[in-house]
Amino acid sequence: MGSLPPFEYLEPSTLQYALYILNRYGESASILAGGTDLLVQMRDGKKTPKYVVNIKKIPQLEGIRLENEGVVIGALTTVNKIHESNLIKEKFPALHQAAGVLASYQVRNRATIGGNLCNASPAADLAPPLLIYEAKLKIAGLKGEDEVPIKRFFLGPGKTVIEQGMILKEIYIPTPKEHTYSIHLKFGERRAMECAIINVAASISIGDSICEDAKIALGSVAPTPIRSENAEAELRGKKLDEEVIKRAAEAAAKDSKPISDIRASAEYRREMVKVFVRRALHSLMIESNMGNR
C-alpha cells in the first residue's frame, strides 16, 4: 500500500452527464460512490484510474421509495439508511439485518448498496438478502436502461454484467407475498469489521401450514453469492419440521463450492453452511408458527 496515485476528479450532477463521461473515458474512469472499496483498491495499486467520477452529486440515485407493489432503493443509498428504514425493516427483514452487520457503523455511514453489489465480492453482505427477495437491478447506459434480475448480475469475484460506461441506478425489490418470513445470518469471528466466513439468507412462504415457496442464498461459499436450488427444492411443498430442515441444510452444503483461504477452510465453511441454514430455517419455522397462530 502506498499513497493515493494521482487522478483527475470529476463530479457530474446528472446521470446523463455521468454516463457521457464514463463513455468518453472508458477504462480509464472509475465510479466513486461510498469509496469504501475503491479508495482501498487505489491505495493497494489494484486500480489506477485516471479519472475518478464521483456520482454522489446525482440526486435521483439516492433514497428509498414505494413503487409497483415493491420498494425501490437508489444505488447511492447508504447501508445505514437502509438499516434504519422502517419500510425495509417491516417488508424485508433479512435486508435490514444484513445492513446492520456490514463492516462497522462508521463504514455503513459511507458505503452504498450499489457499491456493495458492484464491487461483487463473494462475501458482499447485502447480496444474499437481495437474492432471496429476487431483486431487479436497473442499469443505465447511454442507450437507455436495462433491468437485470440479481441472479444474473454476478459473474465472478469482482465481475458483474455491468459494462464500462454503465451505472447501476436503482434496485427494485418486489414485496413478498403474505405469510413470507425471512432472515439473514452472518457468521464471522469478530462482531464488527468482519468479512463473512459465510452469509446465509433464507425465506419461506407458508400456505395451509405448508411451505409453498422457499429461497435460500449463500455468501462467501462460491465465486459469487448464490442461490441454493437443491435446498429450496427440499422445502417446497413440505410441512416444515426438524427432519425437512436438516435435509435442506445438507443440500445447501452440497450446493456450496467454497475455497480455503486465510479466513477459513473449505471444509469448515461447508459445515457452517449446514449449521446456519438449519438455524435460519429453524428460526423461520418458529416465527411462522407464531404468525399463523
Partner 1 sequence: MTVQISRESLIGKSLTRVDALEKVTGRAVYGDDIKMTGLLYGKILRSPKAHAKIKRIDVSKALALEGVKAVVTGKDAPFRGGEALRDQPFLAIDKVRFVGEPVAAVAAVDERIAEEAIKLIEVEYEDLPAVFDVMDALKPDAPIIHEELHTYEHIPIVQPVPGTNICAKFEFERGDLEKGFAEADVVIEDTFTFAPSHHGQIEPFMAIAQVDYNGRITVWVPNDAPSRLRKDLSDAMKIPQDRIRVISPPYMGGGFGGKGGLKVEMVCIALAMKTECRPVKIRLTREETFEATLTRHGAVCWVKMGAKKDGRIVACHSKLYYNTGAYAEKGPTVTLHGCESGVGPYDIPNIKVEGYCVYTNRPVAGALRGYGLPQSSWAHESLVDMLAHKLGLDPLEIRLKNALVEGSINPIRGDELFSVGLKECLEKAAKAIDWYKKRPPNRGVGIACEYKATKTPSGSTAFVRIEQDGSVEVVTSSVEIGQGVRTILTQIVAEELGASPNMIKVTVPDTDYTPFDASTTASRTTFHMGNAVREAARDAKKQLLELASKLYGISPERLDTWDGKVFPKEGGKEMSFREVITSHYRAGLSILGRGSYYPNIPGTLFSAHSVFYMYAAHAVEIEVDPETGVITILKYAAAHDVGRAINPKACEGQIEGGVLQGIGSTLYEEILFDDKGVMLNPNFRDYKMPTSMDMPKVIPIIVEAPHKEGPFGAKGIGEITLVPVSPAIANALFNAIGVRIKDLPLTAEKVYFAIKKQKGGN
The span of 69-77, 137-145, 167-175, 264-272 binding partner 1 (CB under 8 A) equals: 264-272
Cell 438455524 appears where? 279
Question: Please, what's the largest Cα pairwise distance for the chain?
Answer: 62
Footprint of partner 1 on 228-257 (CB under 8 A)? none
Contacts of 258 (CB under 8 A, 6+ apart): 198, 220, 221, 222, 264, 266, 269, 270, 273
Cβ atoms within 10 Å, residue 266: 14
Q: Is 39 in the site for partner 1 (CB under 8 A)?
A: no
Give residue 68's Cα distance to chain centre. Answer: 21
Q: Is 264 in the site for partner 1 (CB under 8 A)?
A: yes
Q: Which of 174, 275, 282, 283 binds partner 1 (CB under 8 A)?
A: 275
Footprint of partner 1 on 75-104 (CB under 8 A)? 104
Footprint of partner 1 on 178-197 (CB under 8 A)? 187, 189-195
Q: Is 9 in the site for partner 1 (CB under 8 A)?
A: no
The span of 81-89, 124-132, 236-244, 265-273 binding partner 1 (CB under 8 A) equals: 265-273
Cell 434496485 appears where? 171
The dihedral of CA 121, 123, 124, 130: what is its sign?
positive
Cα 265 from Cα 217, distance rounded (Å):
20
Question: Minimum CB separation from partner 1 for residue 191, in Å?
Answer: 4
Closer of 179 and 279 to partner 1 (Cβ):
279
Q: Residues 92, 98, 101, 102: what is their CA dihedral angle, to the nearest 10 degrees?
A: -130
Return residues touching partner 1 (CB under 8 A).
Answer: 1-3, 5-6, 104, 187, 189-195, 262-265, 268, 271-272, 275
